[in-house]
Structure 1
């Protein structure tokens, strides 16, 4: 377990529009030797793995390309991804699909294949899918299921583990007010990232290595994934208050004193933001999983401790050897997703034995089954166990 650091980043002045608050993250100097480029997929759904036996299927609005070494000094740019669209429709098929849609037929979903989520496309170039690394890490949490064939588990669970496992998320365009906020908010000098709040709940932290990279990637936030709590907050929270520290003016008689008072106010805001508003992210412990080595950088994904009493974030990062993040993107889990992660961790730690797991949670077997039912995991148990539970058997 380790913590998450935002080393090398400073907090800027917050901007608020409606229920959306965006706090710029600034660098005094860019991360040398690393650049991040947007790469639009041109498709709606990606199948990762072979087309016959897909390993992962999900909505993939865009991909990132990370370059390092000598080529990383080039400017950020955007490209269209076309070479991976195997079996792309011919001109005649595309025209026919357009005619069908014009006649009222439902729109077709564009499908393209990727051999893996992280793919090296050149000697110093890596293509990966933003947040899908993090979500895959969460979905694969103890995915194999019980290691011992305890009689309480269903045959399907013992044979296939947790497959299929699904989780819901929302696109940024579905988060009320986010698109308008991204359109109107000012990108400040030196900005390499943003801490995004919706209804003053931390929705995501995005960090890039260079200010030009952030300018190129800023509009793609509406294509990112956000959790259920963020969607709900955007729907029901009217407006976030403007937070600011009072400016000390007593004793100020010249410009130098005014500059000092202004810097004192900015420092007070930075301390409040970093120690209070960012605490759900930076004060937690995480399990890091290295995914790819990129010279002096490493691509990681991380999972939280799944503490039900706090907000939990999953995410991914490109970290330099000294610990400074060149890239970071996080996703906040809903209460239900946190409960599922917590129960799975407890079950795995107890060897998937129901009574031992119940004891670790300070409850009994019936209480554990109640929690599993609340978390949407009751289908993992045998039907006769569930029938006795519904019948009120104290020890189903």
Structure 2
């Protein structure tokens, strides 16, 4: 697998609030056999990802993936009442306060579930994972071990402890101007299973879940997700974006209700096709590097990294759950800032050339001195002697 598969997900006309554009994604039928619900932490967390290595961040909640089949799931006509939110649920706009650190064991942790009749002992049908932090930890771990060969240019600390510690900055959705109001007034479609969030018409995030009730329950969590520095700046400095307008002609060719319906359907198709072009350029047209982190019966969970092309904007890290056909059941993405893309590109270039500055410079068509400058500009100066 090298790309994302949005088969079964269809965009609907965008809803706009100031500089924020929200594009609903709907499914004709929910993904059978998988449901998601939230565990609330609302505090700083420390995750032991490997012996001696911890990931520390504000972690407002975790998501529990359930493939036990215990919840009724018979299609869009039958909606289970468990784990669903009422339409028009108010968003929690409270900001986190400093509190004790909660320790988590692993980014993805299996959870006990009821043993079904005929199911073998020890079978697992639920797991808890930390949304977006799973993806961010994968980005922070990129070549985390540092130089594989102790060339004379690298410091002793670089050889002994690599890139530890390493950090990146992000903003809560609460801090992105206009996002809270946009989500508050957003009209949720009956079969909506996802949304694309644009700020100043830059794709900030994609969020997809398997079932419409999951989306209704998790819609408010977009305010507690992480967004990059670029999106935060766009929220402040980007102007209002144009709203979606349907033009049905001058009326001369619309004589009946059937003509009006046909014209409306044509406008909806035109919107979907134009939006597919934008979405394909940023999400579907990119070849990602996937790492599988969990098998869940007929589903697989991955986190992914982009190719880190410095000549391309709109690159995302994220996490993904696919069904047995590779179709997207769950997706959450984080748009990288240009500086983060450059850091990823630099680390990949060094690793591809065994961390040899001369060979890396030759591959990039520059000089070793320029590579040293880029290393320092990227915040990795402590690696150098």
Indicate whether the TM-score tops 0.5: yes
Q: So what's the TM-score if we normalise by structure 2?
A: 0.88
Q: Is the 8 A contact 1:144 1:162 kept in 2?
A: yes
- Aligned twin of 2:21: 21
Give the SS at the match of 2:70: helix
Q: Report the Cα offset of residue 76 of structure 1.
A: 4.5
Residue number in structure 1 paired with 2:104: 114
Deviation at residue 339 of structure 1 after TM alignment = 0.2
The RMSD of aligned alpha carbons is 1.9
Task: Measure how far apart 1:357 and its partner are.
Answer: 0.5
Cα pair 1:206 1:328 within 8 Å, conserved: yes
Distance in 2 between residues matched to 1:51 and 1:201, nearest whole Å: 35
TM-score (norm 1): 0.86
**Could you tell me which residue of structure 2 aligns to residue 339 of structure 1?**
342
| C-alpha spacing 1:54/1:216, structure 2 compared with 1 (3 Å) | same
Alignment of 1:373-384 (within 5 A): 373-382=376-385
Indicate if the aligned counterparts of 1:44 and 1:110 stay in contact, CA closer than 8 A. yes
Measured in 2, the distance between the counterparts of 1:367 and 1:357 equals 10
Match of 1:128 in 2: 129
- Separation in 2, partners of 1:289, 1:378: 29
Is 1:258 aligned with 2:260?
yes
Matched, 1:37 2:37: yes
Give unpaired runs (5+ residues) of structure 1.
Answer: 80-106, 383-396
User: How many pairs does the alignment contain?
Assistant: 354
Query: What is aligned with 1:70?
Result: 69
List aligned pairs for 1:1-396, cutoff 5 A. 2-41=2-41, 43-49=42-48, 53=52, 55-73=54-72, 75-77=81-83, 108-122=98-112, 123-244=124-245, 246-248=247-249, 249-310=251-312, 311-382=314-385
Provide the secondary structure at the position in 1 that maps to 2:69: helix
Contact in 2 for aligned 1:292/1:298 (Cα 8 Å): yes
Shift of 1:282: 1.4
Structure 1 residue 268: Cα displacement: 0.6
- CA drift of 1:189 comes to 1.4
In the alignment, the residues of structure 2 paired with residue 51 and residue 31 of structure 1 have an alpha-carbon distance, to the nearest angstrom, of 33
CA deviation after TM superposition for structure 1 residue 182, in Å? 0.9
SS of 1:371's equivalent? Answer: helix
For residues 198 and 266 of structure 1, what CA distance do their matches in structure 2 show? Answer: 22
Is contact 2:37-2:83 (8 Å) kept? yes
Mapped contact 2:357–2:368 kept (Cα < 8 A): yes
Q: Is the 8 A contact 1:25 1:192 kept in 2?
A: yes
Q: How big is the shift at 1:59?
A: 1.2
Tell me by how many angstroms 1:296 deviates: 0.3
Q: Give the Cα–Cα distance (whole angstroms) in 1 for the partners of residues 50 and 254 of structure 2.
A: 70
The answer to whether the 8 Å contact 1:302/1:314 transfers is yes
5+ residue gaps, structure 2: 73-79, 86-96, 113-123
Q: Distance in 2 between matches of 1:112 and 1:378?
A: 32
Q: Kindly state the Cα deviation for residue 32 of structure 1 after the two structures are TM-superposed.
A: 0.3
Structure of greater Rg: 1
